[in-house]
Amino acid sequence: MKVTTTIAETWGLLDAARAEGKSIGLVPTMGFLHAGHASLIKESAAENDVTLTTIFVNPLQFAADEDLSEYPRDLERDLRLCEDAGATVVLTPNVEEMYPYPILTTVSVSELSETMEGAHRPNHFAGMATVVSKLFHIGGRCRAYFGEKDYQQLAIVRRMVSDLSFPVQVVGCPIIREENGLAMSSRNTYLSIEQYAAAAVLNRALRSAAELALSGESDAQILRSHITEIIATEPLVSAPDYVAIVDAHSLKPVDRLAGDVRIILATQVGRPRLLDNIGVSISTLV
């Protein structure tokens, strides 16, 4: 496994690999890697000759009052995880390498970025889309792997790729969970033991709503209330910032469930804001 710190060196390695006819997989991360990231790297390594993992905590996607300076980091451990999972190149650029000048060019995906996380974190998705478009220019023609835990992010990246014709095939990968059902996230490290146990209620509530939907309840409002009530049974978990029931492709809210929908929520558990979601497919009889 090669570790690079510059874009030019990474381009050199990828150009050489392409000249030999090798396929490239890209796994963008912000580091402090866990089994969820490992699953993306493994998937890429299984489907491509070369897997480029990037580790870069992107300042553009943090608001002034968010945890940029305290965001957890452990490069040595991350590199071991990358190697074990099958990465062949790891790019770990610093901020000056990624943003040598104050940035004047940004990418924003309107509409999809304005709801849910976008409504709570106004510049987050433009910062994310901007760095991901840079990473796509670094990776070049490739398959790029993203977790479904950040479902809105995945939808925005897919749309950006389609709108701007990036030569990238976006691959969405299933959420990897802790034993108690909590979706894995680098920010879970902020949770106390009690909060970690309590946070399992998010997945329980989502699964319960999905079961209700599959047994015939199609009213989105009833399902949202069902989730909120279950979450309210855990005093360490705040009332959700939102519980959204959306079309899985357009992310538009639905009143009645039909076809592929996604139930997405975010809530504060102590210090971190946690996200989770579940997919439900309601087949319609014709």
**Nearer Cβ to ligand PAF, position 57 or 230?**
57
CA atoms of 74 and 217, how far apart (whole Å): 45
CA atoms of 78 and 264, how far apart (whole Å): 29
**Nearer Cβ to ligand PAF, position 54 or 223?**
54
CA atoms of 202 and 9, how far apart (whole Å): 43
Q: Which of 109, 112, 108 lies closest to 249 in space, CA to CA?
A: 112
* Least distance between ligand PAF and beta carbon 210 (Å): 24
Burial of 244 (0-12, 13-18, 19+ CB in 10 A): buried
Binding-residue total with ligand PAF (CB under 6 A): 10
Instruction: Decide: is 117 part of the binding site for ligand PAF (CB under 6 A).
Output: no
* Least distance between ligand PAF and beta carbon 88 (Å): 18
Among 4, 29, 51, 130, binds ligand PAF (CB under 6 A): 29
Among 25, 28, 36, 93, binds ligand PAF (CB under 6 A): 28
**Could you tell me if residue 7 is left (phi over 0), alpha (psi between -120 and 50 degrees) or otherwise beta?**
alpha
Span near ligand PAF by CB under 6 A; candidates 24-32, 68-76, 193-201, 212-220:
24-32
* Least distance between ligand PAF and beta carbon 277 (Å): 14
| Contact residues for 154 (Cβ-Cβ < 8 A; gap 6+) | 146, 147, 148, 170, 172
Q: Which of 11, 167, 166 lies closest to 91 in space, CA to CA?
A: 11
Q: Pairing between strand 273-282 and 259-268?
A: antiparallel
**Nearer Cβ to ligand PAF, position 55 or 213?**
55
* Least distance between ligand PAF and beta carbon 160 (Å): 11
**Nearer Cβ to ligand PAF, position 50 or 132?**
132
265, 238 contact by CB (below 8 A):
no
Instruction: Decide: is 128 part of the binding site for ligand PAF (CB under 6 A).
Output: yes
CA atoms of 98 and 138, how far apart (whole Å): 11
* Least distance between ligand PAF and beta carbon 50 (Å): 19
Among 52, 81, 112, 132, binds ligand PAF (CB under 6 A): 132
> Which residue among the candidates 37, 120, 137, 226 is catalytic per the annotation?
37
**Nearer Cβ to ligand PAF, position 30 or 142?**
30
* Cα 68 off chain centre by: 17
**Nearer Cβ to ligand PAF, position 40 or 269?**
40
| Known catalytic membership, residue 37 | yes
Q: Which of 109, 105, 113, 163 lies closest to 134 in space, CA to CA?
A: 105
Instruction: Decide: is 176 part of the binding site for ligand PAF (CB under 6 A).
Output: no
Interaction mask 57-96, ligand PAF, x per CB under 6 A: -x--x-----------------------------------
Residue type (1 letter), 59: P
Q: Which residues are catalytic?
A: 37
Site of interaction with ligand PAF (CB under 6 A): 28-30, 58, 61, 128, 131-132, 150, 153
